[in-house]
Chain A
């Protein structure tokens, strides 16, 4: 799962990104509206955290142009502007949630988690696929109720699969949602990761469709 943080206050951007990474997200950061708009337009994100008072281009105009271009990823506005007029405008423009600064990091994480989940079409915070369970609120994965020990990359991969169970997902899509913008995207590493995950979950959980991608399935 990959999140884009657009925030001009470097300190807040750093805190938010590190909190998001701590709970298993890949995070890209943009410090002005133009850069943020470009990233949101060209990369695939599972959620975007957007400040309104941005340099170069306002958050509202960025959001507006995304929505006009049919980009439907969930957007959480994180702003010091907390009047209802501003909330209504932001939400009417197409934001999915609005959090006013100062904020509790836990609340922000909970809201992002809910947005990501709803964006993937999941309503329950505990995702289930066969014997595999993923509690998105605690970031813990279970196999037959046994806690799984996963590296952060393995967790990201499993989390993406669990958000889209039974779907055939291409390697490109996986790497888009697993790696941060400036990371070295070697497609081989996806295969390595898949293999590691298969070792922990059981080989039949993840099917390979040659030329199309991978599928996490409950029908073992």
Chain B
């Protein structure tokens, strides 16, 4: 899955670093905040302790008296977590009401430092003790102030909760920005794919040239390839055309001269010239076929092709005698080279014109991804047993009509190259019916 989508790849990898850095940020902020809260808490403990010290007074008999009790009401609430104590040589001499005569001072602990321990009701407390000497007393007094850790933790929890909320919202925003950014960044690739499929379907002739710097070479390269294919085909066709021209003119001259050669010799010359002509026509026609449905960027409207051929045949054959009707041909699209389709339809329709008495009907339809075209005439038709011979090369079922016998053969070759086929039947019009199927472009 990681391999299959560039977009997913980018989103997932961004997600990983984003979450990692956000978690790290959260942890850092919370720990900073914790330090800060502890410092403030310790400051508070220190303030209370100093208040106690300020309230302490050594009486003339060397006793330590408190002139006032610390004002904070939490020191009076039993087991509130807020405690204070004053020890003299290790024994308690004063303590807060909240302690209820218990002691918080852990024996053997050093003074002048903060540490954590458990209070009288088992709650965790943070404790500050300081040893203080008074001028008029030789005794050592230890002042202790404690506050509940839970106070501090509550603050930290609330803060962490807020931080998590803020960071979550931030991550959502960042994530959607990342997705948007990646989508925007990959847009040219999407367009590339679209253009490619348009070329495939023949809606576009070449790749656009306004892609970003990183993608453009690909599009340019593809255009070069398309152009190369196209020029290759064009060049082949031009060469074939030139060859046709340079061969056929001399043959035409020879054929006309040979007409006047009498006897066996004349027959021999004419026969060989005819064979040569047939071969030339056949191979040149074959060489011209582009014949690949895998050609990129080709699409042909059979309606246009049939209309062009009808226009031509109307002129080539006596229009007052023959009527060619086209129906259902408009918008039938096949992925094929237009010239190949012209040859295909030209050969099929011309053959029909040769044999028809008055009428040629061409009808098109499409179903299940196939284009179906029927070409029917009202001519003499072909007996069933000969129908399979129709596409045989050079075979002329009726030698009295002019022609090379190549038309249907070439037509069936073109149809097959494009994955289609020719079938023959007897038309209701009386003559031959040809059913041509070709794969459709949807």
Residue contact A85 to B241, C-beta cutoff 8 Å: no
- Chain A residues proximal to chain B, CB less than 8 Å: 9, 11-12, 15, 19, 53, 80-85, 87-88, 91-92, 95-98, 100-105, 107, 114, 123
* Chain B residue nearest to A102 in the complex (CB): B252
* Chain B residue nearest to A114 in the complex (CB): B318
Known A-B contacts A85-B342, A101-B248; the reply to A91 vs B315 at CB < 8 A is yes
Q: Which of chain B's residues 305-354 have a Cβ closer than 8 Å to chain A?
A: 308-309, 311-312, 315-316, 318, 320, 338-339, 342-343, 345-347
**Chain A CB within 8 A of B288 CB:** yes
Residue contact B253 to A15, C-beta cutoff 8 Å: yes
* Chain A residue nearest to B246 in the complex (CB): A80
**Chain A CB within 8 A of B277 CB:** yes
Nearest CB on B from A204, distance (A): 34
**Complex formed: what's the CA distance from A96 to B311 in Å?**
11
**Chain A CB within 8 A of B73 CB:** no
Pairs across A and B, CB under 8 Å, 9 listed: A80-B252, A83-B288, A84-B346, A92-B308, A95-B315, A100-B248, A102-B273, A104-B402, A114-B318
**Chain A CB within 8 A of B259 CB:** yes
B245 surroundings in chain A (CB, below 8 A)? 53, 80-81
Nearest CB on A from B337, distance (A): 10
A83 surroundings in chain B (CB, below 8 A)? 241, 288, 339, 342-343
Known A-B contacts A82-B244, A83-B288, A107-B402; the reply to A88 vs B311 at CB < 8 A is yes
Nearest CB on A from B344, distance (A): 9
A92 surroundings in chain B (CB, below 8 A)? 308, 311-312
Nearest CB on B from A6, distance (A): 14
A114 surroundings in chain B (CB, below 8 A)? 318
Nearest CB on A from B294, distance (A): 22
A82 surroundings in chain B (CB, below 8 A)? 244, 248, 281
**Chain A CB within 8 A of B249 CB:** yes
A100 surroundings in chain B (CB, below 8 A)? 248
**Chain A CB within 8 A of B251 CB:** yes
Residue contact A102 to B312, C-beta cutoff 8 Å: no
Residue contact A105 to B309, C-beta cutoff 8 Å: no
If A92-B312, A101-B252 are given as contacts, then 16 extra A-B residue pairs at C-beta distance below 8 Å, sorted by A number, are A12-B253, A15-B257, A53-B245, A80-B245, A80-B249, A83-B241, A83-B342, A85-B342, A88-B312, A91-B315, A91-B316, A92-B308, A95-B315, A102-B248, A102-B251, A104-B255
**Chain A CB within 8 A of B116 CB:** no
Q: Which of chain B's residues 231-248 have a Cβ closer than 8 Å to chain A?
A: 241, 244-245, 247-248
**Complex formed: what's the CA distance from A98 to B256 in Å?**
19
Nearest CB on A from B249, distance (A): 5
Nearest CB on A from B352, distance (A): 14
Nearest CB on B from A205, distance (A): 30
Nearest CB on A from B317, distance (A): 10
Nearest CB on B from A208, distance (A): 36
Which of B247, B318, B342, B347 is within 8 Å of A88, CB to CB?
A: B342
**Complex formed: what's the CA distance from A92 to B309 in Å?**
10
* Chain A residue nearest to B251 in the complex (CB): A102
Residue contact B256 to A105, C-beta cutoff 8 Å: yes
Nearest CB on B from A168, distance (A): 29
Nearest CB on A from B341, distance (A): 9
